[in-house]
Amino acid sequence: MKNVHLVLNWGGEWKSHHGEYWYEGRRAKAFAFSRDSNYDQLLDNVYNVTGIDKDHYRGEVAPRPVTMRLEVGELFLSKRQLQSQIGSYAFTNQFQTRVFKSDTTRYQVRCIVEDCNWRLRAAKVHNSDYFQIRKFDNQHACFTEARFPHQRQSSARVIGEHI
């Protein structure tokens, strides 16, 4: 599949209930763009579909990039979204993680290989459901063969995103 199909909603507001988010919009329109498009091309499509003046809003209103990154400071709407992104990242890079600490305010994972340095720590942003990556050591000290590349931990959602 060379195109990604999106449904864009605007003119409404975000709603949330118990950590689940949805958008109740007055307008919606579907469009497709190439997987090879960069972020600026995606924004141009969004502005074109909505009729928003891009010079007025550029830099102020921008959707999250298509591929979320794992880096210090990155925000996620919920712990579940963070977990999903970590799962996708591990699947893409052929390694597995183990949960080191997890509760309602923090989430810490490490490479499944005991002596490896790869680890990520995220915490809940005060008075919200957002989680933010606070520390991230992206360097593996283990051998690729030791990381169990068969991905026994991958969820159906993570695998579906890669098909």
Give pLDDT tens digits along the chain (163 positions). Answer: 577 777 777 777 777 777 777 777 667 777 777 877 777 777 787 777 777 766 655 554 444 444 556 888 888 888 998 998 898 888 888 888 899 999 999 999 999 888 899 999 999 998 888 899 999 999 998 877 666 655 555 555 555 554 4
Residue 128: the pLDDT is 85
Considering the domain architecture, whether residues 116 and 49 belong to the same structural domain is answered as no
* Phi, psi (degrees; rounded to nearest 5) at 118: -65, 125
68 in a structural domain? no
Going by C-alpha positions, the residue among 70, 61, 82 that lies closest to residue 129 is 82
Best CA proximity match to 76, nearest among 36, 130, 22:
130
pTM of the model: 0.54
Number of domains into which the chain is organized: 2
Helix (H, G, I), strand (E, B) or coil at 8: strand
Query: What's residue 147's pLDDT?
Result: 63
Let me know whether 11 and 49 are in one domain. yes
Domain with 152 in it:
75-161
Q: Are residues 26 and 97 in the same domain?
A: no
pLDDT given at position 51: 73
Residue 64 lies in a domain: no
For residue 154, give the 3-state DSSP assignment: coil
Task: Classify residue 69: in a domain, yes or no.
Answer: no
Taking Cα atoms as reference points, which of 104, 100, 105, 103 lies closest to residue 120? 100
Nearest-Å Rg of the Cα atoms of the chain is 18
User: Alpha-carbon distance 145 to 142, whole Å?
Assistant: 8
Same domain, 154 and 80: yes
On whether both 81 and 154 belong to a single domain, the answer is: yes
